[in-house]
Amino acid sequence: MTTALTLLAPDTWQIRPGDYALQGTVMIPGDKSISHRALMLGALAAGQTEIRGLLLGDDPRSTAACFQALGATISELNSDCVVIQGIGNLQEAADVLDAGNSGTTLRLMLGILASQPGKFYAVTGDSSLRGRPMKRVVQPLQSMGATIWGRGQGNFAPLAVQGQTLQAIHYHSPIASAQVKSCLLLAGLHTPGITTITEPALSRDHSERMLKAFGATLEVDPELCQVSITGPGQLQGQQVTVPGDISSAAFWLVAAAITPGSELFLPNVGVNPTRTGVLEVLEAMGANITQENMRIVTGEPVADLRVSSSPLQATVIEGKILPRLIDEVPILAVAAAFAQGTTVIRDAAELRVKESDRLQAIATQLGRMGVKVTELPDGLEIIGGEVLQGAEVDSWGDHRMAMSLAIAGLQAKGTTTIQRGAAATVSYPNFTESLEAVLQSP
């Protein structure tokens, strides 16, 4: 077997396309959103929490380090069983809390910190995170009475937080964001009264499911996209089993769909309906995907996925499905490049404030590979079906871009070199090993 992937340097990936297919089983690493929440709720809960299947990526590691600094006892991170002894009353941390590259860590943690009376905290992140907007959580927290300082009137980390007892509010969020919703739910957990959040479309509901499982008093109305929490509440430690991350499975779904002769089995993937937009879009494009053995694990729907290659057709992705596939747009853009016809993605302006400006990153990097991509203010237009050319591309330090470009390179003509591929470890620590393991010569 000729291997298609070479690490020129730990951070530089080279993909040489060849006459191979993708075959076998890929064990998908733990869901990143659920991993963050399990660590945070475990840290806040009375007693012991055990987490099985935790994602060992850089982002959950940032969360674990922050909550250790706040006084929780967290065993060494591993995917078998992480044990947390929670601390209801968080301490002040001796140093600045560093969320690294993780928007989820910083935004959810702000809700927790702002509602710790009498405590002072400083929080920051890497250069990408310091450029991402925090006003979306800072402003509603301020209307609950929170005291938060930072550049751009509290929009950018580093931020300083003076914790206090907040007032419950009903917040109508202008964006469908699970990070905004979860931040306010976590603030509401420590706030007397009923804190309600209404969003314009339903975002992922992992916080709601897990807060309920840990004993919080929550009322959820998915029709109204509304959730209320009654505070103050005391969480109790639980056993959490984290399913595989559908956002990580998406790379294999597209890789197998576009590579002739491929069939992959992806056991144990989370299929929470607030996350399965990617399955619906790929199926509408003609992908061959089956869901087997559907079950509920720690309150979350889980299934085994099977995918095999098939021709893809262009589609339109817009409206309320966007929050249900927001992190899959880069890899869906790759699918679109291999689909017959013109795919249009709209209502995706949120992608401009992720780890990179993903609309610009996709347009420029797939453009280098010869894909005809037009960047729209809130989306992309992608003319698919032409042969991609291997090229020198860059992940822009964005994990989802690194892996999407690697999958695009598999079916390009000529070698693709991806700079800053190591960004993948943010959400997928052994992506390159898994890719090598499933590449089979016919």
Ligand X SMILES: C=C(OP(=O)(O)O)C(=O)O
Contact positions toward ligand S3P, by CB under 6 A? 33, 104, 177-179, 182, 203-204, 326-327, 350
Q: How far is the CB of 327 from ligand S3P (least distance, A)?
A: 5
Q: How far is the CB of 355 from ligand S3P (least distance, A)?
A: 9
Paired tokens of 319: 């409206």
Find out whether 352 is annotated in a ligand binding site. Answer: no
Q: How far is the CB of 345 from ligand S3P (least distance, A)?
A: 15
DSSP letter string, 101-143: T-HHHHHHHHHHHHTSTT-EEEEE--HHHHTS--HHHHHHHHH
- Identity of the residue, 388 or 407, whose beta carbon is nearer to ligand X in the bound complex: 407
Q: How far is the CB of 326 from ligand S3P (least distance, A)?
A: 5
Find out whether 79 is annotated in a ligand binding site. Answer: no
The upper half-sphere exposure of residue 102, i.e. CA atoms within 13 Å in the direction of its Cβ, equals 29
For residue 135, count CB atoms less than 10 angstroms from its CB and return exposed for 0-12, middle for 13-18, buried for 19 or more. middle
- Identity of the residue, 155 or 230, whose beta carbon is nearer to ligand X in the bound complex: 155
**If contact means CB under 5 to 8 A according to the sort of partner, which of ligand S3P, ligand X, none does residue 355 touch?**
ligand X
**If contact means CB under 5 to 8 A according to the sort of partner, which of ligand S3P, ligand X, none does residue 243 touch?**
none
CA distance 329 to 336: 10
Find out whether 95 is annotated in a ligand binding site. Answer: no
Find out whether 37 is annotated in a ligand binding site. Answer: yes
Residue 283 · residue 254 · CB < 8 Å: no
Find out whether 130 is annotated in a ligand binding site. Answer: no
Q: Work out the number of other CB atoms within 10 angstroms of the CB of residue 153.
A: 12
**If contact means CB under 5 to 8 A according to the sort of partner, which of ligand X, ligand S3P, none does residue 408 touch?**
none
Residue 390 · residue 409 · CB < 8 Å: yes
**If contact means CB under 5 to 8 A according to the sort of partner, which of ligand S3P, ligand X, none does residue 400 touch?**
ligand X
Find out whether 354 is annotated in a ligand binding site. Answer: yes
- Our answer to whether residue 327 is catalytic in this structure is yes
Residue 406 · residue 421 · CB < 8 Å: yes
Where does this chain bind ligand X (CB under 6 A)?
A: 32, 59, 102-104, 327, 354-355, 400, 427
Find out whether 33 is annotated in a ligand binding site. Answer: yes
User: Residue 430 has what DSSP assignment?
Assistant: T
* Integer CA distances (angstroms), 386 to 296, 339, 345, 369, 439, in order: 41, 9, 19, 10, 23
CA distance 325 to 281: 9
- Identity of the residue, 300 or 355, whose beta carbon is nearer to ligand X in the bound complex: 355
Q: How far is the CB of 390 from ligand X (least distance, A)?
A: 25
**If contact means CB under 5 to 8 A according to the sort of partner, which of ligand X, ligand S3P, none does residue 119 touch?**
none
Residue 243 · residue 30 · CB < 8 Å: yes
Residues 6+ apart with CB under 8 A from 189: 44, 115, 211, 216, 229, 231, 232, 233, 235
Give the active site residue among 31, 327, 394, 398. Answer: 327
- Identity of the residue, 134 or 326, whose beta carbon is nearer to ligand S3P in the bound complex: 326
- Identity of the residue, 59 or 300, whose beta carbon is nearer to ligand X in the bound complex: 59
- Binding site, annotated residues for phosphoenolpyruvate: 32, 103, 132, 179, 358, 400
Positions annotated as catalytic residues are 327
